[in-house]
Amino acid sequence: MSEIIKAIQDFIYWFLQLLGLIPPPSGIYDLTITIDKTEVYVGEPFTVTAKLTLDDKPVANQVIYVFANDIAIGDAKTNSEGIAEITAYLYDPGSYSIYAEAYI
């Protein structure tokens, strides 16, 4: 019963937040990425590991998008530790800036 009440409360909270009647949760989001390789061959997979925290606490179930020179190359959801692993491929030789974004 209490779970149902909690779910209704969460929904109302989310809905009011959507209408802008409640400010978004305050705190500092931090998104950090690492990659397993800094040099790859064309078409060779590499893994981007992203960690998302809010006030140093992991944020779970959040979609992380990875970009290479501003073009999206993959996405994945964070786990309970706030970590998402994205395997990506690049098919043109060159140097790429890799970063990630989470739309919170």
Partner 1 sequence: MARSNIVTITVSEKPTAPPPTIGHISLSPSYQLITLYSDFTLNCKVTDVNGNPLSGVRVSLYYIRSDGSLRLTQVRNTDSNGTCKFGYVISSPGVLKFIAKADNVESNTATVEAVSTHDIYLKISPRTVQTYSGEEVTFTVSVKVKGSPAKRGTKVELYKEREHILLKEAYTDSSGNAYITVALPVGEYYVQAYCAGASDIDAIANVYVRD
- Reduce the DSSP state of residue 91 to 3 states and report it: coil
CB of 69 to partner 1, least distance (A): 10
Contact flag: residue 86 with partner 1 (CB under 8 A): no
d(C-alpha 13, C-alpha 11), whole Å: 5
- Footprint of partner 1 on 24-83 (CB under 8 A): 29-35, 37-44, 46, 50, 52, 68
If the CB atoms of residues 11 and 36 are measured against partner 1, the closer one turns out to be 36
Tell me the C-alpha distance between 88 and 47, whole Å.
Answer: 6
Distance, CA of 5 to chain centre? 29
- Can you tell me which of 74, 78, 82, 100 binds partner 1, judged by CB under 8 A? 100
> Torsion over CA of 63, 68, 48 and 79, rounded to 10 degrees?
0
Find the shortest distance in angstroms from Cβ 70 to partner 1: 11
Binding site for partner 1 (CB under 8 A): 29-35, 37-44, 46, 50, 52, 68, 90, 92-104
